DNA sequence: GTGCCTGTTACCTC
DNA sequence: AGAGGTAACAGGCA
């Protein structure tokens, strides 16, 4: 669920929450596999009594910078943070907690338990698997053009692959392809120049719009996206194709269809997006 | 209750 | 290199 806009929203909120500059006094882990590759005991030993110097984002990873390395968190499908002053008993889906010296309690909740907390001295382990940050100056038209030219795969699979461009997930990929009028099955090396230019604009546009709306919260289940304060995002009301199967394309009025591409549910307008 | 679906990623085989 | 399957897990939904 959390893609770049949702993760960025959480990181910005974490930065305002008063954790920066404070020491991790205590760590509680109730689901051992939530940490990797260290064991819970090793993880606690390394991170305990460390001060959080900064909180940043890379792709869909949240990075807590400590003096001795980086504590990274990937929320995967259903990871969520909550911050409070009360040291309540951990509930069924709360698997990890950081207690700070200033009294703040950061609790990690993850219904499906796919999320992972890791500690690494070097950030290489993340850099090695992630590609360009789409909201920075590193993302340029020539780079995108080259990447597309040098690969032979469906554009949807390409955009979902974090090693090329980091941060896009199923929702924003469908939205970006719709905006650029590209069919998700189009081979990367066959995307026309004009469409490549459109995609180059569409990717930052859909991500920034999602961020401005504080992310996308579909449905109302436990697995959904909620921010640090437990509030829903607003971007679900602005989606053009995702989860709008059978509704009218906002651009041409044809019915939006849902299909499967790269084993993922895929929404598109069959009139605007031709193979 | 049953069976199938899900917004992510890693790992495996062909 | 790329495609496809499976697995990790729990809940929502028909």
Q: Which pLDDT score, from 0 to 100, does residue A27 have?
A: 97
Catalytic residue among A5, A40, A57, A60: A60
Reported for A198-202, long-range contacts at CB under 8 A and 24+ positions apart, including other chains, are: A199/A144, A200/A139, A200/A141, A200/A144, A202/A175, A202/A176, A202/A177
Q: In whole angstroms, what is the distance from residue A129 CA to residue A199 CA?
A: 22
A62 three-state secondary structure: strand
- Within 7 Å of a protein beta carbon, the nucleotides of strand B are 5-10
Residue nearest to nucleotide C9 (CA to C1'): A112
CB-CB contact of A134 with A166 (8 Å): yes
Residue with tokens 């390409």: A158
pLDDT tier for residue A223 given thresholds of 50, 70 and 90: confident
pLDDT of A77 over the 80 cut: yes
Q: In whole angstroms, what is the distance from residue A93 CA to residue A30 CA?
A: 10
pLDDT of A32 over the 90 cut: yes
Strands A61-66 and A69-74, by their bridges, are antiparallel
Catalytic residue among A3, A8, A99, A175: A3
Q: In whole angstroms, what is the distance from residue A107 CA to residue A66 CA?
A: 18
Q: Which of residues 23-62 of A touch strand C (CB under 7 A)?
A: 33
Chain-centre distance of CA A206, in angstroms?
13
pLDDT tier for residue A220 given thresholds of 50, 70 and 90: confident
Q: In whole angstroms, what is the distance from residue A182 CA to residue A145 CA?
A: 15
Catalytic residue among A25, A82, A251, A264: A264
Active site residue A264: yes
pLDDT of A60 over the 90 cut: yes
pLDDT tier for residue A224 given thresholds of 50, 70 and 90: confident
Helix and strand element counts for chain A (H, E): 7, 10
Average pLDDT, stretch A232-257?
Answer: 94
Active site residue A2: yes
Q: In whole angstroms, what is the distance from residue A184 CA to residue A174 CA?
A: 8
Asked if strand C contacts A151 at the CB level, meaning under 7 A, the answer is yes
Nucleotide nearest to A111 (CA to C1'): C10
pLDDT of A267 over the 90 cut: yes
């Amino acid at each position: 669920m959390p893609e770049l806009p949702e993760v960025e929203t959480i990181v910005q909120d974490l930065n305002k929450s008063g954790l920066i500059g404070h020491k991790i006094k205590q760590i509680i882990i109730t689901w051992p596999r939530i940490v990797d590759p260290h064991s819970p005991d090793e993880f606690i030993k390394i991170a305990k009594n460390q001060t959080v110097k900064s909180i940043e984002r890379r792709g869909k990873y949240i990075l807590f910078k400590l003096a001795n390395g980086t504590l990274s968190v990937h929320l995967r499908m259903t990871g969520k943070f909550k911050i409070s002053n009360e040291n309540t008993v951990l509930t069924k889906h709360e698997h990890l907690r950081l207690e700070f010296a200033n009294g703040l309690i950061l609790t990690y909740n993850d219904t499906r338990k796919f999320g992972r907390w890791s500690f690494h001295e070097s950030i290489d382990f993340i850099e090695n698997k992630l590609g360009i940050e789409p909201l920075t100056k590193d993302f340029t038209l020539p780079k995108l053009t080259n990447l597309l030219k040098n690969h032979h795969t469906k554009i949807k699979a390409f955009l979902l692959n974090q090693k090329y461009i980091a941060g896009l997930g199923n929702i924003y990929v469908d939205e970006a392809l719709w905006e650029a009028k590209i069919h998700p099955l189009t081979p990367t090396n066959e995307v026309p120049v004009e469409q490549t230019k459109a995609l180059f604009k569409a990717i930052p546009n859909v991500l920034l719009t999602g961020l401005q709306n504080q992310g996308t919260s579909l449905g109302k289940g436990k697995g959904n996206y909620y921010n640090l304060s437990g509030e829903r995002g607003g971007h679900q009301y602005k989606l053009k194709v995702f989860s709008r199967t059978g509704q009218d394309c906002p651009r041409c009025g044809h019915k939006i269809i849902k299909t499967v591409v790269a084993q993922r549910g895929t929404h598109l307008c069959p009139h605007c997006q031709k193979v």
